């Protein structure tokens, strides 16, 4: 629709004089993994509602969140992040350190 | 259904336009949409970013968040409100924070439409230790 979807999230961390760290995160793999985990949690959560329960809502809140619902929201957020193609999400740098998160 | 279509239907309902005119307007709207059904205005809005720039002598910050991502995040925050335990709600209320009064749609509307030049924050200051710092928050 807008641009092609981004497939990688690259986290770059550089502190001091060292070479720094580069952490590539394949978003396609993350997407599929989270979707599978969501399906598993939804299935087992429906089968054994008390076995898989979230710590949230322990006080008897009527709308107790299901882990699968929480995961669905996370998947929605990641899908949205991916839908803008290539861009730099965050870059913070000072005299010695630099952190950047970029999508490709 | 888009806002434009809703407006046309309202005009038809109140009798300000005829059925034929409404049909022509809706056809005209459809002609301006791309094959996936997104109007140019909606597509332009979807490409907008909220940008935070901090430009200092020692520190530089550059944050680019797609405006639609903020909309999704606020939807998620809005949906998550029901999961906050009641006692936590009450404790926050005692400190003057009432989460139920936060209108996420209104916040997004203000950011999305209320700014003619898209500039939310534009501050420049000078500090003896940190030197000059310029902070900008804008939408483009």
Task: Please give the residue that has the higher pLDDT: either A4 or A35.
Answer: A35
Residue B72 has what pLDDT? 81
Show the domain range for A20: 8-103
pLDDT class for B114, splitting at 50, 70, 90? low
For residue A90, being part of any structural domain is answered with yes
Contacts of A59 in chain B (CB under 8 A): 85-87
A63 and B72 within 8 Å at the Cβ level: the answer is no
Residues of A in contact with B65 (CB under 8 A): 89
Give a yes or no: residue A91 inside a domain: yes
Nearest chain A CA: its distance from B73 CA (Å): 7
Predicted pLDDT of residue A1: 47
A80 occurs within a structural domain: yes
Confidence of residue B60 (pLDDT cuts 50, 70, 90): very high
Query: Which residue on chain B is closest to A93 by alpha carbon?
Result: B60
Per-residue pLDDT tens for B17-40? 777 777 777 777 776 555 545 555
Number of domains in chain A: 1
Yes or no, beta carbons of B58 and A95 under 8 Å apart: yes
From chain B, pick out residues whose CB is under 8 angstroms from the CB of A80. Answer: 66, 68-69, 72
List chain B domain ranges: 1-47, 48-140
pLDDT > 70: percent of chain A: 82
- Give the pLDDT score at A88: 93
Taking an 8 Å cut-off on Cβ atoms, the answer to whether B83 and A61 are in contact is yes
Tell me the C-alpha distance between A42 and B44, whole Å. Answer: 36
Q: Residue A90 pLDDT more than 90?
A: yes
- Mean pLDDT (whole number) for B74-81: 77
Which residues of chain A does B38 touch, with a Cβ-Cβ cutoff of 8 Å? 1
Could you tell me the pTM of the whole model?
A: 0.65
Model confidence pLDDT, tens digit, residues A12-61: 999 888 888 999 999 999 999 999 999 998 888 888 776 655 555 455 55
**A3: in domain:** no
* Residue B35 in tokens: 């094959």
């Amino acid at each position: 629709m807008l641009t092609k979807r981004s497939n990688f999230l690259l986290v770059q961390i550089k502190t001091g004089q060292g070479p720094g760290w580069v952490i590539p995160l394949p978003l396609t793999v993350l997407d599929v993994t989270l979707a599978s985990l969501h399906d598993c949690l939804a299935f087992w959560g429906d089968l054994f509602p008390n076995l898989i329960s979230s710590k949230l809502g322990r006080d008897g809140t009527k709308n107790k969140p299901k882990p699968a619902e929480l995961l669905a929201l996370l998947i929605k957020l990641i899908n949205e992040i991916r839908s803008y193609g290539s861009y730099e999400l965050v870059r913070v740098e000072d005299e010695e350190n630099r952190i950047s998160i970029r999508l490709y | 259904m888009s806002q434009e279509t809703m407006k046309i239907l309202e005009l038809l309902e109140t009798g300000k336009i005829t059925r034929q005119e409404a049909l022509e307007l809706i056809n005209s709207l459809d002609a301006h949409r791309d094959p996936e059904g997104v109007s140019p205005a909606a597509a332009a809005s979807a490409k907008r970013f909220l940008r935070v720039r901090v430009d200092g002598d020692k520190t530089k910050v550059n944050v680019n968040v797609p405006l639609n991502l903020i909309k999704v995040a606020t939807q998620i925050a809005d949906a998550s409100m029901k999961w906050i335990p009641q006692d936590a709600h009450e404790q926050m209320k005692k400190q003057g924070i009432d989460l139920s009064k936060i209108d996420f749609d209104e916040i997004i509307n203000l950011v999305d439409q209320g700014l003619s030049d898209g500039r939310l924050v534009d501050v420049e200051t000078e500090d003896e230790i940190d030197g000059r710092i310029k902070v900008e928050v804008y939408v483009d």
